[in-house]
Amino acid sequence: MTSAGPLAGVRVIEAGQLLAGPFAATLMADQGADVIKVEAPGTGDPMRQWGRTDGTSLWWPVVGRNKRTVTLNLREEEGQELFLQLVAKSDVIVENFRAGTFEKWNLSYERLREVNPGIILVRVTGYGQTGPYAARAGYGSIGEAMGGLRYILGDPDRQPSRAGISIGDSLAAMHATVGALSALHHRDATGEGQVVDASIYESVLAMMESLVTEWDQAGYQRERTGAILPNVAPSNVYPTRDDQLILIAANQDSVSSRLFAMMGHPEWSEPGHAYSTHVGRGRDQAHLDELISEWTATIDAAELLDLMDAGGVPAGRIYKAADMLADPHFKARDSIVQVPDQTFGTLKMQNVVPKLSATPGSIRWTGADLGQFNDQVYGELLGLSPERRAELSEAGII
């Protein structure tokens, strides 16, 4: 359980639930931070019930990994006082309740700063801490919609689609983590803490490339385009003889010329031909994709991938979990690792990203039981006696 990661020595209190705030804490825990996850007594994070199989969550072991779980009732004054004791011994707080909730619990940033002037408060919400929507409830899906992602996601002949994962929450978590690390750097230089205000909709908006600028300057609105990137060709999913789907990305001039040579049409790359330029290929994108599909459909997937590799054309299968587990590159890089778990014995899950050469992060344990670290945190860290801990438990504080 001892961490040698780059954030070893940094203590984070996670007072959040579901995904956006907790995933930010997971990212820091993976890199060695001591994350103490605070949950309501008796109920805990709803993620403990999500992603179930045979009545037991398979999502919680992943999102809850590397965290010391404690129970604490933040709605009661005694619970708030205990929380402040933890704050005094910590560096970062991550919370993702609706804006104003911490203030309602007498845990405003001003009060937190009184007990620890260097504390960094990371606040993850749907709409941010200011503005007319600040007090609204906000989920990742709404942030994806307002941030511009949902409108352009999916096929053009149907309603906007979902990404298949909670991408809005994850993006907010990643931006919150960048903010926390930036604030830690500033604090190390000045001794000053600060508030990191990470909203879901702005975290999505930040990833929208030039969407807003294109509308502002050219009146151009990006639309749903399915598997293709409009006017960038060839770059699509193509069929194979054995009914597999291979994604080929050969949109650069030099790469497309290598693909055309493999297809037996080197003349398509010669000057003057419509497919010799980026603009020309984009203009005839649909027809070009048809021609490539006719060719790939005569070749088995494994052979096609070998051809692409030998010819220097980026290509790959569209993986599912089983493909990832069987892939030699995943194995060589330990992209997926098998880790001990107190419920399942062992579990396979994605490894820590990114990989650091000198101080790599690690998965030290999977999601712990509700309140599993109460005695360790309240006894060893805060110095509460067994009798006092028993009193607090009886009163519903921990």
Residues recognised as catalytic: 169
Question: Length of the chain in residues, anyone?
Answer: 398
Strand partners for 123: 95, 197
How many Cα atoms are found within 13 Å in the side-chain-facing hemisphere of 138? 30
The alpha helices in 133-224, defined as continuous H runs, are 140-146, 167-190, 200-205, 211-218
Q: Which two tokens stand for residue 214?
A: 């294109």
Instruction: Please tell me the distance from the alpha carbon of residue 376 to that of residue 382, in angstroms, as a whole number.
Output: 9
Three-state secondary-structure class, residue 120: strand
Using the structure block, give the residue that is written with the tokens 């790939």.
296
State the DSSP H helix or E strand holding residue 14, giving kind and residue range, or none if neither.
strand 11-15
DSSP class per residue in 121-149: EEEEESS-SSSTTTTS---HHHHHHHTTT
Q: Which residues contact 175 (CB under 8 A, 6 or more apart)?
A: 198, 202, 203, 206
Instruction: Please tell me the distance from the alpha carbon of residue 288 to that of residue 281, in angstroms, as a whole number.
Output: 7
How many Cα atoms are found within 13 Å in the side-chain-facing hemisphere of 101? 16
The alpha helices in 35-76, defined as continuous H runs, are 60-63
Strand partners for 71: 39
297: alpha, beta or left? (left if phi > 0; alpha if psi -120 to 50): alpha
Of 330, 304, 313, the C-alpha closest to 244 is 304
Residue type (1 letter), 312: G
Of 54, 57, 119, 113, the C-alpha closest to 91 is 119
